[in-house]
Amino acid sequence: MANTDTVRDSLIEKRAELVVRLHKITSDVRHADQPMEADFAELAVQRENDQVIDALGEATRQELTQVNRALASIDSGEYGCCSECGKEIRVERLEALPYSTKCLECASRSE
């Protein structure tokens, strides 16, 4: 089994990074520093930007959920086991993707 202390540290670091990113994205959405009067074309562009930002925010939120789940599984001692087949996930995979919950075989099957 991989050293979960190192994984834990990198997950906590990742989580902090994601929280900052998410905060940045959501404050962008609010347009706090944007003037209220914009003409119609500008509004359309703005709305498109919002959709991109929404997608980014959503992806970040999902990543954050995965990181939290991985941290919880470290605490419960289930970390590194595939959620599909229950086999141990290879260390190389966990190093590349510390919050993966499936082994490579199951992950590629469900994609």
Q: What is the binding site for Zn ion (CB under 5 A)?
A: 82, 84-85, 103, 106
CB of 18 to Zn ion, least distance (A): 25
Nearer to Zn ion, 56 or 107 (CB): 107
**What is the number of other CB atoms lying within 10 angstroms of the CB of residue 68?**
14
H or E element that contains 46? helix 40-75
Please give the torsion angle defined by the CA atoms of residues 5, 107, 62 and 14, in that order, rounded to the nearest 10 degrees.
30
Dihedral sign for Cα atoms in the order 14, 5, 105, 69 = negative
CB of 100 to Zn ion, least distance (A): 10
Nearer to Zn ion, 7 or 89 (CB): 89
CB of 8 to Zn ion, least distance (A): 22
Nearer to Zn ion, 50 or 105 (CB): 105
